[in-house]
Structure 1
Amino acid sequence: MTEALGEASGKVILLGEHAVVYGAPALAAGIERGARARATRCSGASALLLGGRELRAAPAEEDVARAFAALLGALPDVGPVRVEAESDLPPGGGLGSSAALAVAIARSVAALARAPAASARTASEGAAAAHTAADAAAVTDAAAAWERVFHGNPSGIDTTAAARGGCFRFTRAHGATSVAPRDDLWLCVGSTGVSSSTRSMVELVARLFERKPTLAATSIAGITALVENAAFAIEAGDAVALGRLMDLNQMLLAGMFVSTEAIEALCKLAREAGALGAKLTGAGGGGSVIALLPPPPPGNRGAAASNGAADRVLAAWRDAGYSGFVTRVRAGMTRTESQEQA
């Protein structure tokens, strides 16, 4: 059977969400959780198997089916395909689950299009083809078509993170440029347990900014300054400064009314447990929080919880009824290496 695999990273926005929609820069990074997809040729109509459900790529009211059709329509015609996909990321959690699925699916289909119909492939061969042979621009365009079904006018940062991995500075006008952390960035990611709609939150901020243009100008300018300083802090290995900048970004986001009681509680608990800074990541209104951990002691850089901070943050969240996990952004790696080793 001819098959091909695709993989993609989940993401966190370190600083800059919402302002990025208005042309400001944001800092984002791929994380060590993501999505996977397997594409095979089939007879009849193309179909997507996701979460135990099979959806046809045909006109339908369901968003996932329409998104799958839009994605296939943006790729070179490969004929009928069956795609099995899965994600390690919670939907609506602000971690780029939708974009990771889109990129993984697009990569698997693009790789299948390049595979001779009569040749069999192993899973590892299919995955390599998805990463090296697929045209990056076509995959990104297809993932963007998928994302527009769910989010209307997304900034593109989620699909960029899913496709690139690594850490990068992003603007809508100029896309992504790499930011190289001097040291690993260790993060606890906590879930509010409430799903959030990116489209709804972006529209909420748009209405607020229309009513209060002065707030819009000051918020966007403030977040821009924080992002630029955070990029310097990341490259200099100054985790303390990065944490303080994240806290300031959270204050501005709260002033834009995208924070919630649960988000504020997660941030407060994380800081009290030893995190250097904490903020929402993604659209807000629910979703997830990221907490920056102190770097491990010299000589023990490979251990996430070597200084106990991760355990303390996760325990504080767990005791308050929240869940979370630890991830990292690796230092001294290109974005491709970051994705391949995640």
Structure 2
Amino acid sequence: MKKSNVLVSAPGKLMLFGEHAVLYGNPCIVTAVDQRVYVNVEKVGGESIKINAPELKIDNYSIKVSDLGGVDYPKEVKFVLKAIEVFFKKYKIVSGLKIDTKSDFSSLFGFGSSSAVTVCMVKALSKIFDIEVDNKSLFDICFKVVLEVQGVGSGFDIAAAVWGGTIYFVRGGKVIKPLKISRLPLVVGYTGIKADTTTLVQKVAKLYKSHEKKIGEIFASIRVIVEKAKIALENTDYLKLGELMDENQKLLEDLSISSIELGSLTKAARRAGALGAKLSGAGGGDCMVALANKSKTAKIREAIEKSGGVIIDVKFNTEGVRIEK
């Protein structure tokens, strides 16, 4: 049923296993977190698209539909506008729109806000223009948007935003398998350093080019860890899961994408009783995760803070994209 106005939300993500290796065809495991992006889209007369995004300091930005694809977009709303461009072109639509966004995200943390806003935008457009889009089609459209903006990507953050929950994923959506998990007893610590994902991805790519055998072996080892972690998660085997987190962290250190700060926080968490700890995401800073028994959670949180980290309180395994109204 067509709607002239729709509010959609989608979650952020936290990578659990398989960083960087996922870009080379290996699987990863990602979970949706309860920090969400909200996008309200209204169909209006004329052929102008107006965007308000207060958190990004975008106030009544306007562009004509005829200019989509022909001008450089402001970086703050690049994913929103590219999503509209791709959707309108695919379904041969011309329409005015009024768009308002808000977010639970801090721009500091790498929780995947660009992918979440892309998913919200495409989902909202499908409702407004009464076009049936299932989850896989939604993923495919959004993945195209992200590739056109960034030039590279695996799509795991899009999958988390679309399906929610905790997902076993292979690049480009070749495999998207939601895992049956009741809870994830994790503590998230922020290093205080915003990660530069593009630079880190390029760094690993250069390493792979110059040391293909060695880096290929690291990726193969990460792949084995991901497969074991999938089983451990489904069996609620937290002892095994913690061991695998530590193994994954060591391999990420071998890729030279950890940092002094990440190392400090993961070691502090382990000393305080964490079952395992690793960086989460591209590395270089940003966040780490520790697996915590309930009895040790407070000590682990305290240890991370004493080592200079900031605790990020989020819930995991949360709902995917949804229509709010």
From 25, 48, 52, the equivalent of 1:49 is: 52
Task: Output the CA distance in 2 between the equivalents of 1:314 and 1:33.
Answer: 20
From 34, 42, 62, the equivalent of 2:74 is: 62
Letter of the 1:274 counterpart = G
Residue in 2 that maps onto 1:219: 218
Question: Does the C-alpha gap of structure 1 residues 65 and 225 become closer, same or farther in structure 2, counting only changes over 3 Å?
Answer: same
Q: CA deviation at 1:29?
A: 1.2
Residue in 2 that maps onto 1:144: 143
Quick check: 1:29–1:166 contact (8 Å CA) kept in 2?
Answer: yes
Quick check: 1:39–1:109 contact (8 Å CA) kept in 2?
Answer: yes
Gaps of 5+ in 1: 116-132, 297-306
**Residue 98 (1) aligns with residue 114 (2):** yes
Quick check: 1:32–1:328 contact (8 Å CA) kept in 2?
Answer: yes
Q: CA deviation at 1:251?
A: 0.6
Q: CA deviation at 1:324?
A: 1.7
Letter of the 1:259 counterpart = S
Residue in 2 that maps onto 1:34: 36
Query: What's the % identity of the aligned pairs?
Result: 28
Task: Output the CA distance in 1 between the equivalents of 2:191 and 2:148.
Answer: 25
Task: Output the CA distance in 2 between the equivalents of 1:56 and 1:208.
Answer: 42
Residue pairs, 1:111-260, within 5 angstroms: 111-114=127-130, 134-148=133-147, 151-172=150-171, 174-181=174-181, 183-260=182-259
Give TM-score, length-normalised by structure 1. 0.81
Quick check: 1:110–1:139 contact (8 Å CA) kept in 2?
Answer: no
Residue pairs, 1:281-320, within 5 angstroms: 281-294=280-293, 296=294, 307=295, 309-320=296-307
Quick check: 1:5–1:107 contact (8 Å CA) kept in 2?
Answer: no
SS of equivalent to 2:185: strand
* Deviation by residue 1:234-273 (Cα, 9 ceiling, x = unmatched): 1111111101101110110111111111111121122222
Task: Output the CA distance in 2 between the equivalents of 1:175 and 1:63.
Answer: 31
How many correspondences in the alignment?
Answer: 305
Residue in 2 that maps onto 1:124: none
Q: CA deviation at 1:149?
A: 5.2
Letter of the 1:136 counterpart = N
Gaps of 5+ in 2: none
Q: CA deviation at 1:321?
A: 3.3
* Deviation by residue 1:277-332 (Cα, 9 ceiling, x = unmatched): 111111112221111122x4xxxxxxxxxx3x3322222233333212244445xx
Letter of the 1:112 counterpart = I
Task: Output the CA distance in 1 between the equivalents of 2:159 and 2:233.
Answer: 19
Question: Does the C-alpha gap of structure 1 residues 271 and 260 become closer, same or farther in structure 2, counting only changes over 3 Å?
Answer: same
Q: CA deviation at 1:139?
A: 3.1
Q: CA deviation at 1:103?
A: 1.2
